[in-house]
Amino acid sequence: MDAAWSEKTPEQTGQTQQRRRATSADDDFASDLAKFACGLTIDRLPADVIAAASANLFDTLICAVAGSGARGVGDMRELVGEWGGAPQATILVFSDKVPAHHAAWVNGAMCHARDYDDTHDSAVLHAGVSVVPAALAALEWKFGASGADLIAGVAAGLETICRLGVATSIGIIESGYMYTPLFGHFAATVAAGRVMRLTETEMINALGIIYSQVAGNHQVTRDGALTKRMQPGFAAQSALISVQLAQRGVRGTQATFEGIDGFLRVYLRDSCDPAKLRDGLGESYEFMQLSYKPYPCCRFNHTAIDAALDLKKTHEISPENIRSIRVGVTRQAYEAVCTPKPVRRAPATIVHAQFSIPFTVAAAMTDGYIGLGHFSESAIRRKEILDLAQRVEPCIDGEIERKWSRNVSPAAVTVETVDGRTFKRQVDIPLGNPRRPMLPRDFDAKAEDCFKASAIRFADDAATRLRAVVDSLPVLEDARELVRVLSPLR
């Protein structure tokens, strides 16, 4: 009975698909992932892959600086202080020394709090916000691994989450999961485990232990919950617990991904291609396709913002002369950042504003830019932006839906003016994608925006010093210098 049942998956879209079920670690993706991660060294990484991992580290850490002043982070820090414990790792910016898993939790939330962090536009997830905090906490807990170990751990973790993302065909609206924390649990475990130099057996067990903890829901964005920004931190926190348990010989599940009750069936309804998880693993790197954000809000907003900014600049459109703005996107984007319309047009929380095409398009057309200043308690109540947001009409564009469904959505924006003119602009690829990369000056402006939002003032050259340490990681014997440069109170 069990053997016959295990050859079939639940019905999907009216068809029953055949799928091989792993019965041990030897034939499960966990084994392939452990071999890849544990065997990865910096000398096996091409120069462009090292540069990509370094770029992700820098971008994720400046996002953490910005997140230090975000709502909810102070509450988490105070709670961790009340818990106390061994001074194993650092809460970035504040310099608090706390147990490693607590540092990973708070730092993960800080990295994600402003929604300024990286995005994989095909996988629709953020990669660095669980991986980097877990790797840094493991680095400190290990009493200072080398920069080469940190780069290898970050690269392995980023590759894990990105491969899980592109191999998955079911969208976040249909599944109900946010893939950033869901896949981030495994990715953070891989990153921390590699930094701590787990054996392959220990890594397999760590992946099995983390499987008992994976979570991350989409309801947080619908409800504008502060826990949206905490979910990647939960992934990083659980990863530190899992790798330490594995080091002590605790056994986790073995057929973690492809077993009868493995992750692919239970969480993803078998809408994940195992071949895409394995093909070229260790030879080609999917995380090279990561995008970096020019605007601190949900990536589903970005093509609409790009189009709005272009129309405003090209045609010198004033907000007072706008009769209506129509924005066509995919169904996934419509569900994520356009509904319910009353909430998106008048966001009650910062998270609602971060996940709102009406609000962000109205802000772009009003001010001619989008920055961290648009996502504060006072900014989300600006009358001129809210008035214009009422005239933004999002909809599902049938042609865009047919061509782009699972990916970050293009946006077709049509502006009708009071004086009878009509302007149209469609943006398929958002700024920051590898096909439309941000320029160095864009990254400099982003870093300046992030450091200005810090809860604690840094020196004027802090971003420059951070970049210098990141660039030196391949030859740095003790990578804890990266933590020190982000601890201004020391």
Domain ranges, ordered by start, for the chain: 2-289, 299-427
pLDDT grade for 18, boundaries at 50, 70 and 90: low
- pLDDT: which is higher, 4 or 61: 61
Rounded Cα distance between 351 and 361, Å, is 16
Average pLDDT over residues 136-142: 94
Pairing of strands 392-396, 322-329: parallel
pLDDT at 142 over 90: no
Exposed / middle / buried, residue 225 (Cβ in 10 Å: 0-12, 13-18, 19+): middle
Q: What is the pLDDT of residues 375-398, one digit of tens each?
A: 999 999 999 999 999 999 999 999
Question: Domain 2-289 sits in which CATH superfamily?
Answer: 2-methylcitrate dehydratase PrpD (1.10.4100.10)
Ranking 9-13, 19-23, 76-80, 371-375 by mean pLDDT, the lowest is: 9-13
Q: What is the pLDDT of residue 280?
A: 97
Q: What count of Cα atoms within 13 Å lies in the side-chain half-sphere of residue 76?
A: 30
How far is the C-alpha of 82 from the C-alpha of 250, rounded, in Å? 29
What is the per-residue pLDDT across 414-443, written as a single tens digit (0 to 9) for each?
999 999 999 999 999 999 999 999 998 899
pLDDT of residue 481: 93
Q: What is the mean pLDDT of residues 89-96?
A: 96
Q: Is the dihedral of CA 319, 321, 323, 327 positive or negative?
A: negative
> Strand runs (DSSP E) across 349-398, as ranges?
392-396
C-alpha span between 173 and 179 (Å, rounded): 11
Percent of all residues in the chain with a pLDDT value above 70, rounded to a whole number: 96
114 closest CA partner among 218, 254, 197, 226 = 226
Name residue, tokens 């961290």: 372
Reference 98, options 83, 107, 86; nearest CA is 86
pLDDT of residue 407: 83
Task: Please report the pLDDT score of residue 490 as a whole number.
Answer: 59
Contact 466, 488 (CB under 8 A): no
Q: What is the pLDDT of residue 430?
A: 96
Rounded Cα–Cα distance for residues 414 and 423 (Å): 6
Query: How far apart are alpha carbons 73 and 94 in whole angstroms?
Result: 11
Question: How close are the terminal C-alpha atoms of the chain, in Å?
Answer: 63
Range scoring the smallest mean pLDDT among 32-46, 351-365, 378-392, 436-450: 436-450
Half-sphere exposure of 474 (CA within 13 A, CB side): 16
- pLDDT tens-place string over residues 300-331: 999 999 999 999 999 999 999 999 999 999 99
Residues 199, 31 contacting (CB under 8 angstroms): no
Tracing tokens 């601190």 back to the chain, one arrives at 296
Q: pLDDT for 203-248, tens place per residue?
A: 999 999 999 999 999 999 999 999 999 999 999 999 999 999 999 9
Fold type of domain 299-427: 60s Ribosomal Protein L30; Chain: A; (3.30.1330)
Name residues whose C-beta falls within 8 Å of residue 399's C-beta, 6 or more positions apart in sequence: none
Dihedral of CA atoms 209, 167, 63, 71 in degrees, nearest 10, equals -70
- CA proximity to 209, closest of 288, 283, 263: 263
Dihedral of CA 342/346/351/355: which sign?
A: positive
Cβ–Cβ < 8 Å for 133, 111: yes
Strand partners of residue 395: 328
What is the reported pLDDT for 476?
A: 95
Give the integer Cα–Cα distance in Å for 359 and 338: 10
Residue 405: the pLDDT is 79
**What one-character DSSP code corresponds to residue 119?**
B
Amino acid at 368: G
CB of 443 within 8 A of CB of 62? no
How confident is the model at residue 1, as a pLDDT?
A: 29
- Asked whether the CA dihedral 424, 428, 431, 436 is positive or negative, the reply is negative
Task: Specify the pLDDT at position 4.
Answer: 30
Average pLDDT, the chain: 94
Residue with tokens 């060294």: 41
Q: Count the Cβ atoms, other than its own, within 10 Å of residue 242.
A: 29
Residues in the chain: 490
pLDDT for residue 291:
97
DSSP 235-253: HHHHHHHHHHHHHTT----
Q: Is residue 8's pLDDT more than 60?
A: no
Paired tokens of 91: 């809460």
Strand partners, 125: 120
Tokens 């071949």 locate to 275
Give the pLDDT of residue 49.
98
DSSP designation for 196: T
Nearest-angstrom CA–CA distance, 284 and 57: 20
Q: Which whole number is the average pLDDT over 280-285?
A: 97
pLDDT-derived band at 456, boundaries 50, 70, 90: very high
Question: Do 2-289 and 299-427 fold alike per CATH?
Answer: no
> For residue range 156-192, what is the model confidence (pLDDT) as tens digits?
999 999 999 999 999 999 999 999 999 999 999 999 9
Q: Predicted confidence band at 19 (pLDDT cuts at 50, 70, 90)? A: confident
pLDDT for residue 6 is more than 80: no
**CA distances to 287, 295, 299, 425, 433 from 119, in Å:** 10, 12, 7, 23, 9
Residue with tokens 């200005």: 452
